[in-house]
Structure 1
Amino acid sequence: MNWSIEQGSIDEVIEIENQVPEFVTPKTRALIEARLQNKKTLLLVAKVDGQPVAYKLGYALDEKHFYSWLGAVVPEFRGAGIAQALLNEQERWCTSLGYGAISVKSMNRFKNMLMMLLKNNYQIVACHPLEDGTDSKIHFLKQL
């Protein structure tokens, strides 16, 4: 499978989000635009034959700290190394701009994401059970 990584658009994020069954409530354009307003952002999209199949979206918390906010891979394209390639490109970009750390939050139910973060030397710095007891939000940090 041939794929490429490039700068993406919010429309592509929404297209991908709507193909990910784990996302009960996909992100909306309004929510994404509101969160990114006045922030330095990086939006990477992986494409197979010109079709968006994965993305990684984050923004600067300050001059030295980047927050990797959202990401997903469409199910039929998982296991091909696309998520790892997106993570690598995000880290390369952050390092090139002088960021010293990347933060990420995930949920306990996203096992593949947790494993990838741990494999890439992201450290667990906090864990908060959800109020309804159905899952936990796990906070990761990687020093660059």
Structure 2
Amino acid sequence: MELYRAPVQNGAVLTIEEVGLEQLDVIRELNRAIFDEERIINTFDRDDLMILLARVNGVPVGFKIGYRENSRTFYSAKGGVLPEYRRQGIARQLLYVMMERARQKGYRRFAYDTFPNRHPGMAVLGLNEGFRVTRATTTRSTATIACGWRRICSVGVLNVTGVSFTAALPHGSVRSACPTWPEVSGLVKSPCF
């Protein structure tokens, strides 16, 4: 079922559709190309499993998978966009469509985790979209730096290796919460929180 359609760069058309497990081979190929790994998520046997597939001019370019975390929270487990299609707003639109669908299903919160050392764009996206950081995992290391003329110092470095984000979904429709944002194929282009 097509949920979103809009123009992207060079007159191409982005579509986002909700698909079922019959499209798992396409998702596997995208997962390998984006993340260079076989595992997508631990199991597809989840309540309210949602799989979104993004296409540009009919060519699969990205995906997002989520499911029920608890009665109030929908969790986005994994998603990504092929490198050559990044920086065109596709990941953001996948996020918006998933959030709107989760809101329509009655969820009150939306959550996801990311690894900023591997995927900095998703950490930036979460912060830019008003998500709240609910947890961060870190590692400590030591770096040697020049700290003056002919002096070398060791300093402690704190590396953020994982970040959990959450946002409240609007109580009413996203459309009524953000009346000034354009509507595309029945969905609001951007949520408001």
Q: Which TM class, normalised by the smaller chain length?
A: 0.7 to 0.9
**Which of these residues, 77, 102, 113, is aligned with residue 122 of structure 2?**
113
Identical columns (%): 25
- The 8 Å contact of residues 74 and 109 in structure 2, kept in 1 or not, is answered as yes
2:134·2:165 contact (CA, 8 Å) conserved in 1? Answer: yes
Equivalence for 2:32: 18
Secondary structure in 1 matching 2:33: coil
Counting helix residues as a fraction of each chain, which structure ranks higher?
1
Which among 2, 22, 27 is matched to residue 39 of structure 2?
A: 27
The ranges of structure 1 where at least 4 consecutive aligned residues each deviate by more than 6 angstroms after the TM superposition are 131-134
Which position in structure 2 is the counterpart of 1:126?
135
Cα deviation 1:7-32 (Å, max 9, x = unaligned): 23222211111212xx242325xxx4
Instruction: Determine if the alignment matches structure 1 residue 75 to structure 2 residue 100.
Output: no
Contact 1:123-1:142 at 8 Å conserved across structures: yes
Q: Which runs of 5+ in 2 are unaligned?
A: 1-11, 142-157, 170-193
The answer as to 2:147 corresponding to 1:136 is no
Please say if 1:102 is aligned against 2:140: no
Gap change, CA 1:74 and 1:122, over 3 Å in 2: same
Aligned to 1:63: 71
1:53-106, CA deviations, whole angstroms, 9 ceiling, x for partnerless residues? 001100001221111000010001111111111111011101111101011100
Which has the larger strand fraction?
A: 2
Do the aligned partners of 1:36 and 1:59 also contact (CA within 8 Å) in 2? Answer: no
Q: What count of residue pairs does the alignment treat as equivalent?
A: 138
Q: 1:65 to 1:25 in 2, by over 3 A?
A: same
Specify whether residues 59 and 27 from structure 1 end up closer, same or farther in structure 2 by C-alpha distance, changes over 3 A only.
same
- Taking the aligned partners of 2:44 and 2:140, their CA distance within structure 1 comes to 27
1:37 Cα offset (Å):
0.8
- Which consecutive residues of structure 1, in runs of 5 or more, have no partner in the other structure? none
* 1:131 Cα deviation after fit: 9.1
Q: Which moved more, 1:2-11 or 1:74-83?
A: 2-11
Hey, what's the Cα distance between the residues in 2 that align with 1:130 and 1:3?
39
**TM-score (norm: length of structure 1):** 0.86
